[in-house]
Amino acid sequence: MKKGVAVPYIIAIILGIVVLGLIGWWLFKGGGQIGGKISEAECMEKQIIYCSKWQLKNFAADNPPSGDDAWDKLAKGCSGIGIKAPTITRCKTLLGIS
Is 51 in contact with 42 (CB distance < 8 Å)?
Answer: no
Residues in CB range of 71: below 8 A, 6 or more apart: 50, 64, 65, 78, 84, 85
The confidence band for 63, taking pLDDT boundaries of 50, 70 and 90, is: confident
Measured CA to CA, the distance from residue 79 to residue 95 in angstroms comes to 21
pLDDT for res 69: 83
Q: Return the pLDDT at 31.
A: 60
pTM: 0.60
Q: How far apart are CA 20 and CA 15, in angstroms?
A: 9
**Which pLDDT score is estimated for 22?**
93
pLDDT of residue 32: 54
What one-character DSSP code corresponds to residue 86?
Answer: P
Cα–Cα dist 65/48, whole Å: 12
Question: According to the per-residue pLDDT averaged within each range, which of 29-38, 72-81, 85-94 is highest?
Answer: 85-94
CA–CA separation, 78 vs 49, rounded Å? Answer: 14
Q: What is the pLDDT of residues 19-56, one digit of tens each?
A: 999 988 887 776 655 556 778 888 899 999 999 988 88
